[in-house]
A and B are shown apart, each in its own frame.
Chain A
């Protein structure tokens, strides 16, 4: 990106980072109180969340105003882009921890419990009956129904639909991006809106699937290692989709206000990168959690 302005814009003083820190502190405090069963935990948690929301409006609002005021050079824009890219990388590593847990459990921990390798004694003394096949809720048959059993969600139903939905939403956001570059505001607007709709339907379908799992399949967060990995992976993914959706809605409102130009649209680009990221995570989930 060409350096169009001589100076790098350095904001002089901002109250928002401290508001953010205090809000995060209040959230952590409230969350911990809630988990400990101390009274008022939830209220404190929500208070922190409210603070964080106010901070988002204030901080991002200031950035948008500065941007519109033309204070940012191409070099500042590059800083934002690189910052966002590395943030997404850190998110990838977060998911990596949970995928790692899934792979470790499937390929090492469960076979060992079934007597493979050094697990022979453990198996024959503690759980000689254990059938070490995936999916499993462990030799103790933790969670599940009265017999300890549970069913899994097949990949060909709702998950396949969800895959189609998210892949389509990646296409629509790309169409919107190209429209933005060609200054086609109508297509930009429609493409973004379609992405929001597809993301919303995805979340709805995911909710239906969760309800089905909990009510009919005896598959819960507490259903052994399968339930743990299934719900933590898809749950964190769902949380990220929700976050992406909020970001998309804000972006769409900004589009309505006439923000973003064919040359400068970091906000839009960042959100679209984030959206592609949740899409890629979903594809990995679909393959490793549902299909395989």
Chain B
């Protein structure tokens, strides 16, 4: 086969041209680029869905879309953003950076790497196509709770199989990342010398392998309940619809940390670089990340306090959830201590990283409020929950991805991005993201329910403000796209080090990073 004949030759560039190169590539940089571009496209698609939601909610009453379509939008927005935008973005960053950061020639299993990416576009084709099917896309929320989700029309098996494919892709990607990290580090790079981004991804990959198959099991049970007469979630048959929620959140809560641990890693790379100091408390960062990962498996039922679980269960899940604040607090403290007396400069990646620390912490605190059973029973299914997880995911996870892109973009393209436009992007995003999500706290505390296209008139002003913020934030991201395009096409030459005092192997290779790097392992 062509695989073996090519192997003997030495190649400096891609082995093929045009579309075929991207379809058949085994190069971690190519695949990283594919992931990142795909993620950006999905980010814009999911964002457009969010803007439909916010347009409808601009005023009380029903004006723009049919309520059923509104429900489809809330469901699809979540699925697209989680599985299409955020997870592929982090995997794309892992692909580009982990081999560069551990001094490996490529990912450990390069063909499987290509496979895990190319599962994504067809899977999303299946998912997005459901919008045009009889009965429409799934409209029961991304958590797919039965019995509501079982009322989905012809879209139902498409959604289930699409999620199976996405899960398979994530598992393959996670296996590849673990093996790359455990088996491909340059000689001399012990585990406790690995960059934090690599550490957090190692732990994230364990979470992925542990959690994604459980989701596969849960949606398989949904499928057999609907088509093959099983009664997993039917009380008359001895099952329990709440059981789905337990299985789903056993996946779902680790999933939350899958979306945030790599972000912690990114921030732990950026803050030391722009403070010109080593990361404070490296060991405690590693321990804290592991502790968060462990705890993430024993907190799932805090999503379900209103289902009527036994009191002992509620107490356990409340306390275990609040424990997560401890390792998370360690991380925030370490970042602040890294900043302390550093010679700080405020380039765009640093700005996003600092905004992350502040705004993610707001999301963390509202999470603590939600962890309290008596309070959660009031907040449950209100806009307070929406505000909480969007603070964690947008100025949290998404800001970290943006920060990472600005941070490593000169290494990838060999050009400096436009710093002025980058700063504009930062300030517009940061202001509008708060205009967008902060009022939702007040709406939730005043008991506006989530996932409803209409609301009482007293909620109007805050909803209008929130919608204005949404459009401001959405349009600001077009500026981001422009900065990216501009930087890929040209710009000031970036040096190998790019920044003043960056630490790590990725800064020892030229910018742009050559197609093949570290073909003989570097000495650390």
Contacts and interface: CB of A to CB of B under 8 A. Distances in A.
Given A78-B183, A79-B179, A97-B247, A90 B26 contact: no
A32 B158 contact: yes
B519 A29 contact: no
Interface of A: 6-18, 20-22, 24-25, 28-29, 31-32, 35-36, 38, 58-59, 61-62, 65-66, 69, 71, 75, 78-80, 82-83, 86-87, 89-91, 93-98, 100-101, 104-105, 108-110, 112-113, 117-118, 122, 136-140, 142-143, 220-222, 224-229, 231-232
B166 to A, nearest CB: 11
A93 B237 contact: no
The 10 closest A-B pairs by CB, nearest first: A97-B217, A140-B236, A222-B229, A138-B238, A17-B115, A225-B238, A25-B122, A228-B230, A28-B161, A109-B240
B202 to A, nearest CB: 12
Contacts of B220: 232
Interface in B1-43: 1-4, 6-7, 9, 11, 15-16, 21, 23-27
13 contacts: A21-B119, A24-B119, A25-B125, A75-B183, A82-B183, A86-B174, A93-B210, A98-B217, A104-B243, A118-B310, A138-B239, A221-B229, A228-B239
B218 interface: yes
A272 B89 CA distance: 36
Interface in B197-249: 209-214, 216-218, 220-221, 223-224, 227-232, 234-240, 242-243, 246-247
B112 interface: yes
Contact of B214 (A21, A65, A94, A105): A94
Interface in B111-141: 111-112, 114-115, 118-119, 122-123, 125-126
Given A21-B119, A97-B217, A14 B238 contact: no
Contact of B238 (A15, A83, A113): A113
Interface in B165-182: 165, 168, 171, 174-176, 178-179, 182
Contacts of B24: 13-15, 17-18
Given A9-B7, A90-B212, A139 B236 contact: yes
Contacts of B179: 79, 82-83, 86
Nearest to B242: A109
A273 to B, nearest CB: 14
A250 to B, nearest CB: 17
B11 to A, nearest CB: 6
A12 B232 contact: no
A97 B1 CA distance: 40
A15 B23 contact: yes
Contacts of A32: 126, 157-158, 160-161
Nearest to A135: B238
A224 B212 CA distance: 27
Nearest to B104: A8
Contacts of B79: none
B343 to A, nearest CB: 39
B391 interface: no
Contact of B3 (A66, A98, A227): A66
Given A25-B123, A83-B112, A93-B214, A13 B238 contact: no
A11 B234 contact: no
Given A8-B184, A90-B209, A104-B243, A142 B231 contact: yes
Given A8-B104, A25-B165, A17 B227 contact: no
Interface in B271-308: 308
A21 B114 CA distance: 10
Contacts of B239: 105, 109, 138, 224-225, 228
A71 B7 contact: yes
B162 interface: yes
Contacts of B242: 109
B347 to A, nearest CB: 34
A109 B184 CA distance: 47
B154 interface: yes
B109 interface: yes
A96 B1 CA distance: 39
Contacts of A24: 119, 122, 165, 168
Given A18-B24, A65-B4, A140-B235, 10 more contacts: A11-B110, A17-B115, A28-B164, A75-B184, A80-B109, A100-B250, A108-B240, A110-B238, A140-B236, A228-B239
A10 B26 contact: yes
A232 B236 contact: no
A233 B2 CA distance: 41
B209 A93 contact: yes
Nearest to A100: B247
Contacts of B376: none
Contacts of B178: 82, 86
Contacts of A36: 154, 157
Given A14-B24, A21-B122, A97 B218 contact: yes
B115 A79 contact: no
Nearest to A110: B238
Contacts of B182: 82
A23 to B, nearest CB: 10
A101 B221 contact: yes
Contacts of A224: 231, 237-239
Looking at A36, A79, A137, the one whose CB has the most chain B CB atoms below 10 A away is A79
A152 B127 CA distance: 40
A220 B231 CA distance: 12
Given A25-B125, A224-B237, A225-B239, A59 B111 contact: yes
Nearest to B11: A12
B108 interface: yes
B43 to A, nearest CB: 22
Contact of A13 (B26, B174, B184): B26
Contacts of B444: none
Nearest to A22: B122
B231 A138 contact: yes
A202 B487 CA distance: 61
B15 A227 contact: no
B456 interface: no
Contacts of B109: 79-80, 83
Contacts of B238: 105, 109-110, 113, 136-139, 142, 224-226
Given A17-B112, A82-B178, A221-B224, A11 B7 contact: yes
B314 to A, nearest CB: 12
Nearest to A6: B520
B1 A65 contact: yes
B520 A31 contact: no
Contact of A101 (B165, B247, B308, B516): B247
Looking at B109, B239, B242, B310, the one whose CB has the most chain A CB atoms below 10 A away is B239
A231 B519 CA distance: 50
A269 to B, nearest CB: 16
A107 to B, nearest CB: 11
A91 B213 CA distance: 7
Contacts of A38: 154
Given A86-B209, A104-B243, A62 B4 contact: yes
B231 A13 contact: no
